[in-house]
Structure 1
C-alpha cells in the first residue's frame, strides 16, 4: 500500500525535492533546434508553478496534521498521521527546491544577451575567477545538444516515442519510468 501511495507522487515534486540548498549553477541540456530563451522561460514557469502549488499543498497538509493526531489514542499505528506528516515535509522540500530553481533561473535577467553565452565561454570565465565564489556569468549554463536533435528528429509532432525516451534516459542516466510517468501527467 505504501509503494502504491508513493507511486502517485508527481515526478516534478521528486525533481524539486532533489534540488540542494547549496546549488549555485544549473546546467540545462536541450535540443539545439530550440531557442534557449524559450527553454529558460519554460523552466521559470515550471519552477514558479511548483513553488505556488507545493506551498499550497504544504499548508493544506499542515492543517490536516492536528485532525489526524486524534488517531494517536487508538492502539493501532497512526498511519494517517505519519502519511500527512511525510507529505507536509515532502511538499515543504519541494516548495523550497522550486524557489531555489526559480531564483537561479531568474537571476541576472537584466542582461539582454544572456542566452547567447555558450557553455565553453562560461567555463573559461569561471576557471579564470577560481578564487571568487561569485562569477560574472549567470547561474545557468545552456548546453545545446546535437545528439538530442538526432533522437528527436525521428519522432512525429505528437510527442516522443517510448523508444526515444529510453535512448534519452540512457544517455543522461535518467530513470525511464519517472520520465514516462512525467510525460503521462502532462
Structure 2
C-alpha cells in the first residue's frame, strides 16, 4: 500500500506534513479479526504461538473500537444533555492535539511505500531530512508520553467511584491509544524514508514520473519516492508578503482542495508554533 504525503512550508520555518485523504479507508469494513468482546479478546490473546506485538495490536484495536462506539453515543446525544456537553468538551480537547501527531498516526502498518510531493523550489534531500527528523522526534516524544499516559490510567480509573462520567479516565485512555499509534507511525515512517539513497526516486516531469514509478513497482526496490511539483510551488507564491506571516487561508484552502487534504489538520500547522 502506497501513501501520498504532502510537504510544504506554511509559515516561516514551520512546515506542513500531511497525508492525502484515502477514501478507500472509509469504505473498508472493520476487520473480522478485531475482537468485539472481552471473551474474544482473551481467546485471541492467550494463543501461545502469537507474537507479543500482535497481541498488543489486538488489545489496542479492542480499546479503539470501544472508544469509537462511546464517542458515537456522545455525538448522537440530545442537545443540552450531559453527554452532549461532554462531546463538546471532547471536541475542544481534540482541537488541541498537535498536527504532527495526527500526521504520524496516519502512517499505518499497512503502508509499504510513500510518495512525497513537495514544492519544486525546495531541495529534495532537505525534504527527506525534514521527514526523517519528524519521524525520529516523534518516536522519542510519543514513546515518553505513551508510558506517561499508561501510568495515569490506574489513577484516573479510581475516579469511577464518583457519580459522574469519568471523563479524565477516558481522555487518558484515548491519549494512551493516540500516542501508541503515533509511535508506531513514527517508527514506520522512519523505516520507509531511511532507505538507501540509491533506491530513491526524485521526479519532476509527470510523464517521466509515471514511467519510472511503473518500473519501480515492477522491481519493488524503493520504499519512498520524492516528486517535486511546480503547481504546488506556484500556489505557495500566489501572494507576495512576509514569509513569517504565512500562507493566507485562501491559499491553504486551495491547496487542500487540489491535493485532497484535511483542511482542519493543515490549518493547525499554521497556528502551531
Normalization by structure 1: what TM-score? 0.87
- Root mean square deviation of aligned Cα: 1.9
Report how far residue 116 of structure 1 moved.
4.4
Contact kept in structure 2, 1:65 and 1:81, CA below 8 Å: yes
Shift in CA distance, 126/116, structure 1 to aligned 2, threshold 3 Å: closer
**Which residue in 1 is equivalent to 2:191?**
103
1:161 to 245, 248, 254: 248
1:12 lines up with 2:72 in the alignment: no
**The residue matched to 1:9 in structure 2 has which SS?**
coil
Q: How many residues align?
A: 178
Q: Which sections of structure 1, spanning at least 5 residues, go unmatched?
A: 130-134
Q: Which sections of structure 2, spanning at least 5 residues, go unmatched?
A: 1-88
More strand as a share of residues:
2
Distance 1:141 1:97 in 2: 18
**Which residue in 2 is equivalent to 1:123?**
213
Normalization by structure 2: what TM-score? 0.61
1:90 to 178, 185, 190: 178
User: In the TM superposition, what are the counterparts of 1:3-152 in structure 2 within 5 Å?
Assistant: 3-109=91-197, 111=198, 114=200, 116=202, 119-120=209-210, 122-129=212-219, 135-136=220-221, 138-152=222-236
**Runs of at least 4 residues off by over 4 Å:** 115-118
Distance 1:117 1:149 in 2: 15
Distance 1:21 1:141 in 2: 18
Larger deviation: 174-183 or 81-90? 174-183
Report how far residue 51 of structure 1 moved.
1.2
